[in-house]
Structure 1
């Protein structure tokens, strides 16, 4: 069943994000006392009285006078450079909404900015009506109504003539049940279908600020879903978007040299997650940025594959290594995406100078030099594919999702025990197991016991004899046979005493 969309809209700093977090039951949107904290559209599922819908939080809609008159201060002081972009995002949410919750500040009372936003709502709904589309009902949520006085004063919002007014407190939860009842009652009926579990492949875009994550995100989904700017730190929340990716063949995906094309297009559900830029720990400011970075880390935790974005103009810096290390600690699949390659080489130059490189595709000399740098700085994950793209021009961006899906397939790969034992025997013949004080390591049994990531257990005579260099040797032998493109693999060693 298609989920209904319920959009929270309003001017800056009326408590939309606090109310959003209360309604969904977790702290997903970043909350701060400064107006303009939320910039992108954030959405999350809500279930109330057996009805499920998607709640969308938006940035504060601001009349555009601050852009026309420099002397007019912007309401969203924390996002003054993004007034127009934030408004565009909110208008898209209104265009998609089945129900609109117009959020106002009960303590501040009815303001000129509220009336201006109400007029914007009327115009946008009028456009939908003229296009023959259904018009969403509007519910007014008078937020910050913790005390009796603002609750009583909230009736003045009926002057807007938009709908019923519900005094609520996002902090304490007062009135939230009545608001949810009203939302559920206003949702248009949907045809009943059996709910299916979320089996989409979750791909997170992570990296330092201003490496082009949001530009690439918008390029991949084919829609302007997140705000793109040259100012580092524009994205503050983890933004999820579900897409259906149609893959007609294997062309463009690194790690697949078969050249085989399926007899029909293969459709894969993907959840793309755009995240805030992760700066080095000492540079993260308390408050909003700290929460945004924590949200980015949580996005990595719930992803299957992480796209680690690098800035082609800056090379590989220490913070890129730290982020890669965190992804490795979480045992996630990785694709390194070198963005802004158009600033290094034009597409025309690439077309003239590329040469085929075994297992790596078509690379120019500069790409090969950069690849060596990546392999040196990220030597702890030498198994990851590296792509050179430009989100701005679209150069080779069509390679990204196919490669990420190959990595996800590698995470779920299973090897028979007979093949694992064969690899162990051949490894022992090629390189004798290590000895210690005259005692040699013996591997009695080895088998794969898990996936995501692939996990292998080796039963040995004494775990103290397993040197890390021999572990690496065994891992490399497994990768020589089965590649495991872009995914870490875990090797667990158990001694005789542990088996008893």
Structure 2
């Protein structure tokens, strides 16, 4: 099931980034095994009690005047309303209630998305409660007093946020149709691919606005089977500032990827693969999704017998953190290899949910350890007791060892390669959790 998305909206200097960092804790470190993918501090994964969710910072505002503040706050609110399951509206007890707060609150109230009102910079809960109560006037429910800097009141805030998760998710429960997100930079041909798939299939398509979001989900029927395509292309905000547009497209991508089982990263063959493509692919990799890299506009390329290999080599080198990704060369214009897309989606879905019996897994482990000794440090050698698969989407393995610190990243990568040699797992990330077990527990 996809994780809920929580967006933070608020005026300049109310402490949005402080709150974001306080909630994200240390989760927002750059992911070590993904060269070329810097984690923008736009989104982070948060776990609260038994809830996991993704938090999004809708953006900073650099105001020149109050008009600019209001228009940019509206922009943030629109992004939040487009993408979030729950919105945290952050205000500031020291500045008090201001006009732009009220105007944005009106928008949020009309959006019918759940909104949690947080009043920040409350250092003395008892003494400042009368000032907090003033925010009842916004008409969006009970204000929750917090201090993002002092990390006070965050538990109450998260309780309020989490209370809305069940409602927003129930609509998506029980839906077994595979969900496929089509992501990529603007103008790489995401919509053209979907339109071509529809044209070929001749189905009547109902473009129903997503149940919990305003993204357009399109159902495509292929060989008697339905697939839901989540398109990130149709929703473009007009923005003069490139950074703002890029931030918006990353937020868009995160929310589409979160809901998907398989992600198709579309790359423009004419332009070639870029760092921004790697950043977008990295979002899907971070979230352990099935990944297909579709090189579009392949019909526009002059080819010889080496072209495919050379282009694949470049893609593999820039996306070196996800060697498992499937690569397809397609053309939305001619329809070349688009039918192959469905076969590949099916294969990746199967690999995402593949379960390996513990006995078989440990035979492979024993063989792998015999072929390449585990690392040692200061005379102490890593012992691997056993391994078991505990979850799917992505396939997740727990490895029990004598000392976690001895498990080098490179040895884990070696074990992953052995597992892939035996079972394929093409198109999906694998996740490994290393746990310590004392010898006497054996």
Shorter-chain TM-score range: 0.5 to 0.7
8 Å contact from structure 1 (residues 461, 495) kept in 2:
yes
Q: Distance in 1 between matches of 2:247 and 2:229?
A: 22
Instruction: Provide Cα deviations, 1:2-31, integer angstroms capped at 9, x if missing partner.
Output: xxxxxxxxxxxxxxxxxxxxxxxxxxxxxx
Could you say which residue in structure 1 is the equivalent of 2:418? 477
Could you say which residue in structure 2 is the equivalent of 1:231? none
Give 2:268's match in structure 1, choosing from 303, 311, 322: 311
Give 1:493's match in structure 2, choosing from 407, 426, 434: 434
Is structure 2 residue 350 aligned with structure 1 residue 409? yes
Greater Cα radius of gyration, structure 1 or 2: 1
Distance of aligned partners of 1:242 and 1:442 in 2 relative to their CA distance in 1, 3 Å threshold: same
Could you say which residue in structure 2 is the equivalent of 1:325? 282
8 Å contact from structure 1 (residues 238, 275) kept in 2:
yes
Could you say which residue in structure 1 is the equivalent of 2:180? 203
| Number of equivalent positions | 278
8 Å contact from structure 1 (residues 278, 293) kept in 2:
no
8 Å contact from structure 1 (residues 389, 395) kept in 2:
yes
Equivalent residue of 2:321, what SS? helix
Structure 1 residue runs of 5 or longer lacking an equivalent are 1-31, 43-145, 147-168, 176-194, 227-236, 247-266, 354-363
Q: 1:402 Cα deviation (Å)? A: 1.4
Q: 1:268 Cα deviation (Å)? A: 2.7
Q: How does 1:103-142 map to 2 (within 5 A)?
A: none
8 Å contact from structure 1 (residues 205, 306) kept in 2:
yes
Q: How does 1:7-406 map to 2 (within 5 A)?
A: 172-173=109-110, 197-222=174-199, 238-246=215-223, 267-276=224-233, 284-286=242-244, 290-291=247-248, 293-345=250-302, 364-406=305-347
8 Å contact from structure 1 (residues 414, 454) kept in 2:
yes
Instruction: Provide Cα deviations, 1:171-226, integer angstroms capped at 9, x if missing partner.
Output: 65499xxxxxxxxxxxxxxxxxxx99311100000011111101011112227989
Q: 1:290 Cα deviation (Å)? A: 4.8
8 Å contact from structure 2 (residues 197, 220) kept in 1:
no
8 Å contact from structure 2 (residues 385, 400) kept in 1:
yes
Cα-Cα RMSD: 3.9
Could you say which residue in structure 1 is the equivalent of 2:390? 449
Q: Distance in 1 between matches of 2:390 and 2:108?
A: 46
Distance of aligned partners of 1:484 and 1:171 in 2 relative to their CA distance in 1, 3 Å threshold: closer
Could you say which residue in structure 1 is the equivalent of 2:373? 432
Q: Distance in 2 between matches of 1:336 and 1:196?
A: 28
8 Å contact from structure 1 (residues 384, 487) kept in 2:
yes
Distance of aligned partners of 1:319 and 1:292 in 2 relative to their CA distance in 1, 3 Å threshold: closer
Equivalent residue of 2:187, what SS? coil
Instruction: Provide Cα deviations, 1:111-154, integer angstroms capped at 9, x if missing partner.
Output: xxxxxxxxxxxxxxxxxxxxxxxxxxxxxxxxxxx9xxxxxxxx
Q: Distance in 2 between matches of 1:174 and 1:408?
A: 34
Q: 1:429 Cα deviation (Å)? A: 1.1
Distance of aligned partners of 1:398 and 1:437 in 2 relative to their CA distance in 1, 3 Å threshold: same
8 Å contact from structure 2 (residues 292, 326) kept in 1:
yes
Instruction: Provide Cα deviations, 1:377-433, integer angstroms capped at 9, x if missing partner.
Output: 111111111100110111111111210121011000000011110110110111111
Distance of aligned partners of 1:293 and 1:472 in 2 relative to their CA distance in 1, 3 Å threshold: closer
Distance of aligned partners of 1:499 and 1:318 in 2 relative to their CA distance in 1, 3 Å threshold: farther
Q: Distance in 1 between matches of 2:278 and 2:440?
A: 37
Distance of aligned partners of 1:283 and 1:303 in 2 relative to their CA distance in 1, 3 Å threshold: farther
Could you say which residue in structure 1 is the equivalent of 2:160? none
8 Å contact from structure 2 (residues 351, 426) kept in 1:
yes
Could you say which residue in structure 2 is the equivalent of 1:423? 364
Using the size of structure 1 for normalisation, the TM-score is: 0.50
Equivalent residue of 2:328, what SS? strand
Q: 1:497 Cα deviation (Å)? A: 5.6
Q: 1:435 Cα deviation (Å)? A: 0.7
Equivalent residue of 2:365, what SS? helix
Distance of aligned partners of 1:292 and 1:379 in 2 relative to their CA distance in 1, 3 Å threshold: closer
Q: Distance in 2 between matches of 1:376 and 1:285?
A: 26
Q: Distance in 2 between matches of 1:429 and 1:393?
A: 51
Equivalent residue of 2:393, what SS? coil
Q: Distance in 2 between matches of 1:329 and 1:432?
A: 29
Q: Distance in 2 between matches of 1:468 and 1:174?
A: 46
Using the size of structure 2 for normalisation, the TM-score is: 0.56
Q: 1:245 Cα deviation (Å)? A: 2.2
Q: Distance in 1 between matches of 2:250 and 2:316?
A: 26
